[in-house]
Structure 1
């Protein structure tokens, strides 16, 4: 992921110390990280901070505490964020969709306020899909529309292939259904797996010293076209995402993205209508283009939309345009309009 390079640069800033000074600094960081590491098990259902929109909720599935934010009313849409992201990645699109649907914005296992198991769960696409289906059943939802981005988009496609009776429509932003040589996060897999370096890296991410640089990296070429207010909003989303980071789950998520088995044969069986969106300026354009061509060739119910100036995270760059396409695809014609949403009254536990 491009923001990893930014984090590495941030770690090297102002570190022109002698060897002893560096050792002392690293020791301090290790102490800081060990004392403030974000929760692995969230049995008390604590939340890091109140959501901008909607209400915090938890559901316990197979012993795991899974956090999500519910906003709006109507038919449910389950929203799955990308790798290392939380429900907050949907903040810019929630006001457009919640006027028409009940949104269930998920922190999948390993991120945000959901549990982050260190063992017994490999964070594979299949494992996440299985657990999310169990979550849908626990919420007594017979069928649901699923909207995912990147890693979340791959999970959405996996659910459509393996649990067709559980989903009615799928929206995927650059979800990787088939393997490609342009695999993101490969550097991350290596260095988050190192015992000390991985924890130090997560510590730097949690401290927030590179939040703006990371936000700029995430937005890519779109950053310069954004207003200062929009930039501030993106930085806040990134900052709150990073505060709940876990080196173990991040390492395992990056590993599974690289080593996940080929999904080609199963993807060909998808009968559920699919809307696939991708960006011409995405860091992973090659991967997205390959998947778009595959879906177009093999799925008769697939609609492909390419944004020539689009980045990887289209939900952050073009929330109104994406929402309009989603509403049209789901049968709600017309231009998306922001809705009035009551902010959560849930307080942040001590």
Structure 2
């Protein structure tokens, strides 16, 4: 009898927890409530809410597009009027990272926010994640949309791809905007394996950031096994570490990024961007000077960016974004949009 009571009590507790986690569970018949269908339906409904179709609806004047270029299928979101401005996102985000600045930019430019090779709804091939190849993807996309020349802006990994685009296709580059990351160069090879003395904090202070994931993402096969289905844990750590204002990337934004990276395939592909860094360093050594106007905007990475990019850009405008962490376009969108527009619309020196 006591055993039956314990079983009944455990079942009641389980039912209460399920009812709290999944509204409507308690109203199901007992046999149906024991099935996994409500969980699946909950996940499916959540995924639908963060789909590209749902996200684009919140940005009037924008639409989804797809293009087969350079052996991959790229997803992009396009809207606005005027000359083309290509936006390239970074890890661990998607095109959605630019949603706060896209409407302001679209008043003056045809904005094309792209999911890079391996990102979001774009293809996730086994290779081609060096930034030179990814820049070729973007060049082919620009041509497929009927443009001979475009301004290109990128954040994080997207910033490195934007630089590679300008370096390899200067004739197709009007202006270059780089946010929070230079192209990988030899200085990347000197990043410490161990952090400074003392424990790694959960917030980036004034010290040099400890970029442990640069090494973690080098390992083939392991990260996706550890993180698939729980990538939100890693992303929340990254956002906490790099955001000054954590509400700048809200619950919906985080759901978008978690959904985009939560599979084995997506994690493997995004790791490819990091596994290609040694090749990116080699490619950088062979790049010449950039003659087009270049804008470098940085928060924590400002000093590093200015030092590295000034070695290659002959016409550099470097701007430090105050009161912001790594995700400047989400923490300081009005400043970033205004600075970009001022730069893009300025006459050539």
TM-score (norm 1): 0.70
| Aligned equivalents of 1:95, 1:216: Cα separation in 2 | 27
Aligned to 1:330: 344
Runs of 4+ in 1 over 6 A off after TM superposition: none
How has the CA–CA distance of structure 1 residues 251 and 294 changed in structure 2, closer, same or farther, with 3 Å as cutoff? closer
Compute the displacement of 1:48 (Å): 6.8
Within the candidate set 113, 123, 133, 1:115 is matched to 123
Secondary structure at 1:261's aligned position in 2? helix
Alpha-carbon RMSD across the aligned residues, in angstroms, is 2.8
Compute the displacement of 1:198 (Å): 2.0
| Aligned equivalents of 1:159, 1:217: Cα separation in 2 | 30
Unmatched runs of 5 consecutive residues or more in structure 1: 1-27, 37-45, 224-229, 334-350
Greater relative contact order, per chain length (Cα 8 Å cut-off, separation 6+): 1
Compute the displacement of 1:134 (Å): 1.1
Verify the 8 A CA contact 2:132 2:164 in the aligned structure 1: yes
Compute the displacement of 1:158 (Å): 1.0
Q: Deviations over 1:171-211 (max 9, x none)?
A: 001232223334843243145x335x523402102xx5676
Compute the displacement of 1:123 (Å): 0.8
How has the CA–CA distance of structure 1 residues 108 and 69 changed in structure 2, closer, same or farther, with 3 Å as cutoff? same
Q: Deviations over 1:32-90 (max 9, x none)?
A: 9xxx9xxxxxxxxx957442322111111134211000121111100000123210000
Verify the 8 A CA contact 2:70 2:136 in the aligned structure 1: no
Secondary structure at 1:311's aligned position in 2? coil
How has the CA–CA distance of structure 1 residues 300 and 149 changed in structure 2, closer, same or farther, with 3 Å as cutoff? same
How has the CA–CA distance of structure 1 residues 248 and 209 changed in structure 2, closer, same or farther, with 3 Å as cutoff? closer
Verify the 8 A CA contact 1:83 1:150 in the aligned structure 2: yes
TM-score (norm 2): 0.70
Compute the displacement of 1:316 (Å): 1.0
| Aligned equivalents of 1:255, 1:64: Cα separation in 2 | 19
Within the candidate set 202, 207, 228, 1:202 is matched to 228
How has the CA–CA distance of structure 1 residues 174 and 194 changed in structure 2, closer, same or farther, with 3 Å as cutoff? same
Within the candidate set 195, 204, 217, 1:189 is matched to 217
Aligned to 1:241: 257
Structure with the greater alpha carbon radius of gyration: 2
How has the CA–CA distance of structure 1 residues 317 and 263 changed in structure 2, closer, same or farther, with 3 Å as cutoff? farther
Matched, 1:316 2:340: no
Verify the 8 A CA contact 2:91 2:156 in the aligned structure 1: yes
Within the candidate set 177, 182, 187, 1:176 is matched to 182
Compute the displacement of 1:242 (Å): 2.0
Aligned to 1:342: none
Matched, 1:278 2:298: yes
Unmatched runs of 5 consecutive residues or more in structure 2: 1-35, 45-50, 193-210
Aligned to 1:66: 74
How has the CA–CA distance of structure 1 residues 188 and 237 changed in structure 2, closer, same or farther, with 3 Å as cutoff? farther
| Aligned equivalents of 2:343, 2:291: Cα separation in 1 | 15
